[in-house]
Structure 1
Amino acid sequence: MVTPCPSSPASPAAWVGRQNNDQNLRAPMKKSRRPRLGRKQPLQPLNPLPLPGDSGICDLFESPSPGSDGADSPAASAARDGSPLPGLAQPLAQLDLQTFRDYGQSCYAFRKARESHFHPRESLAQQPQVTAESRCKLLSWLIPVHRQFGLSFESLCLTVNTLDRFLATTPVAADCFQLLGVTSLLIACKQVEVHPPRVKQLLALCCGAFSRQQLCNLECIVLHKLHFSLGAPTICFFLEHFTHSRVEAGQVEVAQALEAQALARGVAELSLADYAFTSYAPSLLAICCLALADHMLRLPHPVDLRLGEHPEEALQDCLGKLQLLVAINGTSLTHMLPLQISEKCSLTPSLK
């Protein structure tokens, strides 16, 4: 039990002496004179350049919504980082044949075995409000968005796969469909990209129609519905595998193989927006897009269709639909390709 000390009167002289003793016992302290650091402001571009492209997405980036200050657009981010603006004609990728020799076949066998698990068939069968036309409109808007952000083709393929798999499990209202598109893009970019787009950037694309909380909530719902199973085999992976395989076998030169792969990616982008191609597996679409690209470039030794291990009937059916797709969207395809490839390819290839 703690008892208080008895209070006793003290004279003024004793009180002053006690104060002096207390001051002498204190250690001397030096006040810090370190200056406070102010918040750094982002550098502003000296000569802003216009964004390339022929779609309305450029106007959206140049004149953002009232709720955005424009600092988070892809153009402003590229200007702050000092990197060139992403255009339609991306440089051709390089081949890593040594890594392919070490791990190529084992990675292909693993992803080919899991392809059917991640392949949603008839994703719109249970959707009361989302139609094939609205899906085409959304993806036709997302593809230029992905290109303006300078994202990889793998990110686009994963975005479409995440979108279709969620549609196969959960009914989506028509007024939330655009939010599902940008949420799928964010989830895909978090898996692949080193610097994925920020939430503020994606919300600016929707002109302030959705809040940050709505996007984050939908992201949690999508991940829960898909059981956090996101590593889907994509058309991008199979295109790269088949390109390495034909170069390693000596069937085509490296430069020709890279040009055919770039053209096949353009054809595959067109097919991603068309609901009719969702019934084909990614490996089937990849080998057919590559075969069509070889014919469009008039290569002397086209890719062997047997690399994909698919039935002949399915190959011919997919090739016929791809040829029709290219014939209808030939103008759009030429704008998606590098100039050196668009000048070489023929938009009316003969598959005979």
Structure 2
Amino acid sequence: MTATRNTRCRAAVVAAALGGWLLLGCTAGDPAPGAPPTPPGTPAPGAPGASRPTPTPSPTPAPEFSADAALADVEWLAGDIGPRLATDESFARAADEVSRRLLQLGYDVDRPEFDVPAGDSWGTPVAAGTSSNVIAQPATFDPDRDYVTIGAHLDTIAVSPGAEDNASGVAVLLELARLAASQDLQQVRFIAFGAEEPRGRGDDDHHYGSQRYVADLGSQGDRMVAMIALDRVGVPADEVPICTGGPVGSDLRDELLDVAAGLDIAARGCEGRTSDHWSFEKAGLPAARFGSVDYAGYHSRRDTPDVVDEAQLRRVGEIVWAWLADRH
């Protein structure tokens, strides 16, 4: 017997009492000749109760840095709020919203306060007051395991809307926090620093928030293997600057430059101490800074959202996210 198309036949033979053989017919859905027999009671394919192939799940797209989202946050901070002197109500408003955003992403958030002295904010006399850091980490963060820190200062000088300096850095930090939460990265701490801007000359009158944070780290500093400061990261440029204040952060800087090269993003190494990374390096902790391209609106009323370039935000965000994701 031959099987017609779409029909598989089973030759069922029955031994007759007289020794003859009867060939009983074909049934659709029977196994092909030579195939192992179907166990009794197994439903035919397509019949009620028959098992169906398990569909192969579609791969989940890798999360990507959204420069559009970062640019919207620059508009919010520098456009809607404007100047954010570290001891003013405008800074507190920005810190409240950053805290809310991070809480919404599932992070534990702390807001330690600290005193800031009176001084000169780039030509404007300012009174003493109180500022705060916004510190966020996953609920399962373990300070006894190696971890990394991503930081950006939230304040501005007294008169500047601070789009580039430093809504750009905070915007990139918030987008990185979103990506890290989406991938359940555990050993990363995000900090929006208060009072980075100077109120006088020298280190003692600069980086108040990060200096206070490092002073309070205690033994947790022993497990912090890297710190990245995002400061002035958005004006148009041919390259992404990645800086250190001295030799303590040089290995980290070189690691980040290698990540940029692997992404085919032009980047250059540089030196500089005028941001929060320097508070960490002075304490012997490896740190590096993204940013520091010169621009006309620096520390002025002209530091408005139109100076920030979406493409540069994307380059910085992609480098840091690739580095961060690879470490986890």
**For the superposition of Structure 1 and Structure 2, which TM-score range results when normalised by the shorter chain?**
under 0.3
TM-score for the superposition, normalised by structure 2 = 0.27
Q: Name which one, 1 or 2, has greater alpha-carbon Rg.
A: 2
The structure richer in helix per residue is 1
The structure richer in strand per residue is 2
TM-score for the superposition, normalised by structure 1 = 0.26
